[in-house]
Structure 1
Amino acid sequence: MIIFRYLLKEVAKTQLAVFFVLMTIFISQKFVRVLGDASEGSIPGQLVMTFIALKIPDLAGFILPLSLFLGVLLAYGRIYADSEMTVLHACGVSEWYVVRVTLVLAVVTAILTGIFTLYLAPIASEYEYKVKEDLAADSGLSALVSGRFQQTGNQDAVVFIHDKDRETNSFNKVFVAQLPKGDNIDASIINSSLVYAKTGKVFENEQGSQQLVLDNGIRYHRDIKTKEFQSVAFDKYYIQIKDQQVEHQHRKLSALPSIELYNNVPPELESAYRATIQWRIAFPLTCIILIFIAVPLSVVNPRQGKFAKMLPALMLFLGYLLLLTSMRSAIEKNAIPSIIGLWPVHISAIFIGAMLLMKERSSGRIIKAKLPKFKRKSTKRAMAKELSQSKES
């Protein structure tokens, strides 16, 4: 039990450290992208952290298997480099026992990964689509940046504000250009209605339409017949900026719940649905399968150091991931039957892990030891045959 807790503690500690480091790196990259969109006015500044949080489930589902794989390599690599594993093997701790201990942590990690990929990631993706749709159908005033021109949701006006009060959601020094409708020659910007007001506010009714109410301003308009400009002072001025409620766009498969992907499969999209659900299941399976590869690859010579096999291990992980991605794309394009799915890649990975484990176990060493003897015997027979031929000649 002491050895069990020790090995489990070392791997879990290293896995958590790797997980937080990788999550910090990937979240920082997402933060830079979202912050760039916010600076361009594509999304409101107050929703930056919301978009970052919605990316966490998808990232965690991908990073958890990688962190477990690297955690096993680093933890056991250090134990081998410090000759601790040699002492444990001398005390009767076999390679298979180390695999079984690590599988306990792998099962826990697989359950957490499944929660992220099968449940939380689709919910986050669905909510992200909903927020993006609301922003796209909105007038743009919720994401309005001071000192920038923006077009309203119904494309009928351009709004510019000097200052915005976030507490009351009101605007100061508002400029609105109501664009003319039509494609004729007179439908130019000079025929638009220009409005300036000291303050303004947005009101939304139950049907989802929005109106911009301006207070204490002046409206400038050019008469098409007389070609003269007119100015009218007003106390209140109403401008329609959104006409109807948000119409939900077709959701991508990443936003569909896993149960719906499995049960409600339309015949024309069967391949895409099957590929998506198998992709979500692949990451929890990867946590368990990679243990059979990571444990034997963590065996290093104390003179080599704990990072001796890190490069080939990472190449195997990258190849495994690329094969899964390629198979998923082939299934979606009907190049591979959906009933076959991603299982050939998983089976190949299990086979590689079994070969690596057999190489380190006693049965594998016995088989390996017998091969050179057979070669030596055949070599001696060939030399004797050559000597006899030379004597006869």
Structure 2
Amino acid sequence: MIIFRYLLKEVAKTQLAVFFVLMTIFISQKFVRVLGDASEGSIPGQMVMIFIALKVPDLGGMMLPLSFFLGILLAYGRIYADNEMTVLHACGVSEWYVVRVTLILALVTAIFTGIFTLYLAPMASEYQYQVKDKLAADSGLSSLVAGRFQKTGNEKAVVFIHDKHRDDNSFDKVFLAQLPDENHLDDSIINSSLVYAKKGQVFEEESGSQRLVLSQGIRYHKDANSGEFQAVTFDKYYIQIQDQEIEQKHRKLSALPTHQLFNPPDADSAPEYSATIQWRIAFPLACIILTLIAVPLSVVNPRQGKFAKMLPLMLFLGYFLLLTAMKSGVERQALPSNIGLWPIHISALFMGIILLMRERSSGRKIKAKFPGFRRNTASDNKVRDIKE
């Protein structure tokens, strides 16, 4: 039990450290990207942390298998480098026992990964679409930022506001230029009406349309007959800044709940639905399969140091690149959906079994049970005796 807890503790501790480092790196990249969108006015500044939080489930589902794979390599690599594993083997701890202990932690990691990929990530993606739809529907009100020229939601006017009051969504010192109609796009901007008002406020109607109400202002426009400019003062001035409610955008399959993917709407979309299901299952399944690969590859020579076996990281990258390629092939119907990603999983599992059986005492015991192996071994011994 002491050895059991020791092995689990070392791998889990290293896995968590790698996981938090990877999450910090990738979340920082997402933060910079979202912050850039906020600075351009695409999303409100107060929504930055919400968009970052919605990226966490998707990143967590991808980072857990990688952190577990690296955790095994680093933890067991240190144990081998410090000759601790040699002492454990001398005390009767076999390689298969180490694998069984690691598979327990792999099962726990696979459960958490499945929660991320099968439940939390689709839910976060759907909520992100809802937030974007709400921002698009409320673009006339939320996109108006003080000190910046911006188009209205229907792109029929350009608005500049000096100050914005968040408590009642009112504006101070509003400048507005109504753009020419679509049929008169060749007209100069000078032919458009220019409006300046001391106060302004946005009102939303039940139909989803929005109007900007300006007060205490003056409007400059060019008379179509005389060609002269006229200035008209007004107490109230209305302009439509959004014509109708924005329709709900098409959702990607990443936003659909997992149980809905089992019922595609038609035969044409069935391959894409099947590829999405297998992609979500691939991450939890990879935690189990990669354990069989990482444990034998974590063996290092004490003279080489614990980082000598970091090259197996290329196997992990190749594994997921192949999964990505197979998923794309299924979606394009270049591969049968019933085959899907399973050949990659089976190949990786077969590689893990070979690595475990190679030069392992427990593996040689399993091989010795086969008659063909015993005959080959006896013939090899005779050849060795003749050569000697």
TM-score, normalising length: structure 2: 0.92
Whether the 8 Å contact between 1:200 and 1:213 is mirrored in structure 2 is yes
> Is 1:129 aligned with 2:129?
yes
Q: Secondary structure at the match of 1:215?
A: strand
| 1:13-35 deviation per Cα after TM superposition (whole angstroms, max 9, x unaligned) | 11110000000000001111111
Mapping 1:288-303, distance limit 5 Å: 288-303=288-303
Query: What amino acid maps onto 1:358 in structure 2?
Result: M
Partner of 1:158: 158
Name which of structure 1's ranges 350-359 and 119-128 shifts more when overlaid on structure 2: 119-128
Distance 1:106 1:307 in 2: 22
Q: Secondary structure at the match of 1:183?
A: helix
Partner of 1:327: 326
Whether the 8 Å contact between 1:265 and 1:273 is mirrored in structure 2 is no
Distance 1:289 1:262 in 2: 25
Using the TM superposition, give the Cα deviation of residue 297 of structure 1 relative to its aligned residue in structure 2, in angstroms. Answer: 0.8
| 1:1-46 deviation per Cα after TM superposition (whole angstroms, max 9, x unaligned) | 1111111111111111000000000000111111111112222211
Q: CA RMSD in A?
A: 2.3
Distance 1:26 1:282 in 2: 21
Whether the 8 Å contact between 1:95 and 1:360 is mirrored in structure 2 is no
Query: What amino acid maps onto 1:216 in structure 2?
Result: Q
Distance 1:363 1:104, change over 3 A: closer
Q: Secondary structure at the match of 1:14?
A: helix
Distance 2:174 2:28 in 1: 36
Using the TM superposition, give the Cα deviation of residue 143 of structure 1 relative to its aligned residue in structure 2, in angstroms. Answer: 2.6
Query: What amino acid maps onto 1:169 in structure 2?
Result: N
Distance 2:152 2:185 in 1: 23
Using the TM superposition, give the Cα deviation of residue 188 of structure 1 relative to its aligned residue in structure 2, in angstroms. Answer: 3.4
Distance 1:343 1:139 in 2: 45
TM-score, normalising length: structure 1: 0.91
Distance 1:265 1:301, change over 3 A: farther
Name which of structure 1's ranges 50-59 and 230-239 shifts more when overlaid on structure 2: 230-239
Distance 2:130 2:50 in 1: 12
Using the TM superposition, give the Cα deviation of residue 165 of structure 1 relative to its aligned residue in structure 2, in angstroms. Answer: 2.1
Distance 1:142 1:10, change over 3 A: same
Using the TM superposition, give the Cα deviation of residue 141 of structure 1 relative to its aligned residue in structure 2, in angstroms. Answer: 3.8
In structure 1, the gaps of 5 or more residues are 385-393
Mapping 1:116-195, distance limit 5 Å: 116-184=116-184, 187-195=187-195
Q: Secondary structure at the match of 1:241?
A: strand
| 1:92-122 deviation per Cα after TM superposition (whole angstroms, max 9, x unaligned) | 1111111111111111111111111111111
Distance 2:361 2:185 in 1: 89
Partner of 2:314: 315
> Is 1:351 aligned with 2:340?
no
Seq. identity, %: 73
Mapping 1:213-224, distance limit 5 Å: 213-224=213-224
Name which of structure 1's ranges 245-254 and 348-357 shifts more when overlaid on structure 2: 245-254
Distance 1:379 1:92, change over 3 A: closer
Distance 2:290 2:140 in 1: 48
Query: What amino acid maps onto 1:113 in structure 2?
Result: T
| 1:170-198 deviation per Cα after TM superposition (whole angstroms, max 9, x unaligned) | 22211111122242477432221211111
Partner of 1:7: 7
Using the TM superposition, give the Cα deviation of residue 318 of structure 1 relative to its aligned residue in structure 2, in angstroms. Answer: 0.7
Q: Secondary structure at the match of 1:69?
A: helix
Partner of 2:78: 78
Q: Number of aligned residue pairs: give it.
A: 382
Mapping 1:195-344, distance limit 5 Å: 195-311=195-311, 313-344=312-343
Distance 1:173 1:316, change over 3 A: same
Whether the 8 Å contact between 2:264 and 2:270 is mirrored in structure 1 is no
Query: What amino acid maps onto 2:161 in structure 1?
Result: I
Using the TM superposition, give the Cα deviation of residue 372 of structure 1 relative to its aligned residue in structure 2, in angstroms. Answer: 9.8
Query: What amino acid maps onto 1:202 in structure 2?
Result: V
Distance 2:137 2:20 in 1: 37
Distance 1:203 1:324 in 2: 50
Distance 1:363 1:234 in 2: 92
Query: What amino acid maps onto 2:193 in structure 1?
Result: S
> Is 1:60 aligned with 2:60?
yes
In structure 2, the gaps of 5 or more residues are none
